[in-house]
Amino acid sequence: MKKIISILFVFALLQSCAGTKDMYIFTSFHEPATEGLRYLYSSDGRHWDSIPGTWLTPCVGTQKVMRDPSLLRTSDGTFHLVWTSSWRGDRGFGYSESKDLIHWSDERFIEVMEDTTTVNVWAPEWFYDDERDEAMVVWASCIPNKFDLGIEDVNNNHRLFYSTTKDFRTFSKGKLLFDPGFSCIDAQIIKKGRKDYVMVLKDNTRPNRNLKIFFATDPHGPWSAPSEPFTPEFCEGPNVAKVKDGYIIYCDRYRTKDFGGYFTKDFITIEDQSDRVSVPPLHKHGTICMVPAKIVKQLIAAGQKKKP
């Protein structure tokens, strides 16, 4: 009986979304990150449901994991996915592409830090630079003894780097994007308007480990001084959903094992609305992306077939 009710609920939801141009997809993974890509979906950017199953099993990198999956859809309808492929030892990230989020191309390992002594390449995150007509991948790497340590260990002192591509075949070598003077990871860039860019990242220093915001007139920088933190400690993986009346900044609260949601209209005044969002348990942070409702409908139907 429960299975019939579940199927009827999904059918009703799909029917209600039939006339909707786009829906939200939230890429995800479950610990220990060896099973692969997972999805959440939403019609309002606030309340999320899981799509059953995994959709791309990681097979590149030293440890062959899939953490921090980041999704970008280009104007030709292609979805491009990048992810963290190892905790340590990799000088690049995983890459694959798809037309329907179900069938994925052979995975590639994109090496972007080959000329460095980096410890890692963490949390690659897409940003499409429409001014330059190119895609940008931003990640965190730790290069021992390159930056001021502060209170961080030499092998845990991260800064932000980036690579660009126009064809998703050739990626530029990694370049330093931002050194805020402290260890930072998990950066996402959002374009609010012309010459109006926002970066949300995790201050990874002890005892902070919270989220801060920066501003710039160009995604390559220079970036402003940091805002005051707008989350408590032990928050990471910020991802932004554009909703009807503003933005919701989601974060992975890894000590309490749930998600926080912070609403803002301008990234200056921020309100904790964690009690007004819902994310199913076990999911970890990825990227929120707008996807045609037809593709989401097909994905949900395929996921129902994966249920045991």
pLDDT value at position 151?
84
Rounded Cα gap, residues 212 and 222, in angstroms: 16
Helix H or strand E encompassing 15: helix 2-16
Under 8 Å between Cβ of 111 and 92: yes
Q: What is the pTM of this model?
A: 0.92
pLDDT value at position 183?
97
Rounded Cα gap, residues 84 and 27, in angstroms: 13
Name the percent of the chain lying above pLDDT 90.
90
Encoded amino acid at 193, one letter: G
pLDDT value at position 15?
38
Please indicate whether residue 293 or residue 20 has the higher confidence score (pLDDT).
Answer: 293
Here the contacts of 2-8 (C-beta below 8 Å, separation 24 or greater) are 7/304
pLDDT band for 8, please (50, 70, 90 cuts).
very low
Rounded Cα gap, residues 198 and 160, in angstroms: 15
pLDDT value at position 4?
40
Contacts of 28 by beta carbon, 8 Å cutoff, 6+ apart: 37, 38, 39, 40, 69, 283, 284, 285, 286
Mean pLDDT (whole number) for 89-110: 98
Helix H or strand E encompassing 306: helix 293-306
Under 8 Å between Cβ of 82 and 61: no
- The pair of structure tokens assigned to 215 is 């501003």
pLDDT value at position 286?
96
* Domains defined along the chain, listed by start: 23-291 (2.115.10.20)
pLDDT value at position 218?
98
Rounded Cα gap, residues 111 and 220, in angstroms: 20
- Would the pLDDT of 16 be above 80? no
Encoded amino acid at 6, one letter: S
- Select from 54, 53, 113 the least CA-distant residue to 89: 113
Rounded Cα gap, residues 151 and 207, in angstroms: 9
- Would the pLDDT of 250 be above 60? yes
- Would the pLDDT of 300 be above 80? yes
pLDDT value at position 20?
54
Mean pLDDT (whole number) for 98-109: 98
Residues 18-75 pLDDT 10s: 445 899 999 999 999 999 999 999 999 999 999 999 999 999 999 999 999 999 999 9
Say how many C-beta atoms besides its own lie within 10 A of residue 76's C-beta: 6
Contacts of 97 by beta carbon, 8 Å cutoff, 6+ apart: 78, 79, 80, 81, 104, 105, 168
Name the percent of the chain lying above pLDDT 70.
93
State the DSSP code for 304.
H
Mean pLDDT (whole number) for 158-181: 98
DSSP secondary structure string, 180-227? -SS-EEEEEEEEEETTEEEEEEEE-STTT-EEEEEEESSTT----PPP
Contacts of 256 by beta carbon, 8 Å cutoff, 6+ apart: 234
- Would the pLDDT of 128 be above 60? yes
